[in-house]
């Protein structure tokens, strides 16, 4: 087997592995119930705010502050929420289904996981 053939087979193997990781993460993202993680609702509130208002929220804003904890995820780094809001806006072009928007907000995590797996090889 030549070196060229080995490189091609390695690239095919990596592509298959990354595709498998994408399918696995995507299926988990669309099959998991909303708020099955303890803080998903708080994160989703920030994504929804950015999606609806097209601006960044202030952490003290009452509409996104969790009443029981008295805090907001808007005080945390917000770049991932901005990308989630972008995915949500794209999804809103096709549907207004609330769970579709939740799944779209989760897609940034899927993309990041696949990107990390791809960088490892």
pLDDT tens digit sequence for 25-82: 999 999 999 988 888 889 999 999 999 999 999 988 888 888 888 888 999 888 999 9
- Whether the pLDDT of residue 19 is over 70: the answer is yes
pLDDT value of position 121? 62
pLDDT value of position 110? 95
Structure tokens at 67: 């009443």
- Whether the pLDDT of residue 4 is over 70: the answer is yes
- Torsion sign across C-alpha atoms 67, 69, 73, 74: positive
How far apart are alpha carbons 37 and 33 in whole angstroms?
9
pTM for this one?
0.85
Structure tokens at 119: 């960088």
pLDDT value of position 68? 83
- Whether the pLDDT of residue 120 is over 80: the answer is no
- Whether the pLDDT of residue 103 is over 90: the answer is yes
């Amino acid at each position: 087997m030549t070196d060229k053939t080995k490189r091609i087979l390695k690239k095919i193997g990596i592509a298959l592995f990354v595709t498998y990781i994408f399918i696995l993460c995507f299926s988990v993202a669309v099959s998991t119930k909303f708020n099955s993680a303890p803080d998903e609702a708080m994160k989703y509130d920030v994504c929804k705010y950015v999606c609806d208002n097209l601006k960044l929220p202030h952490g003290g804003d009452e509409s996104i502050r969790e009443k029981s904890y008295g805090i907001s995820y808007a005080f945390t780094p917000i770049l991932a929420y901005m990308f989630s809001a972008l995915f949500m806006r794209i999804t809103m072009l096709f549907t207004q289904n609330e769970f579709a928007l939740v799944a779209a907000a989760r897609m940034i995590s899927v993309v990041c996981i696949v990107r990390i797996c791809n960088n490892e090889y």
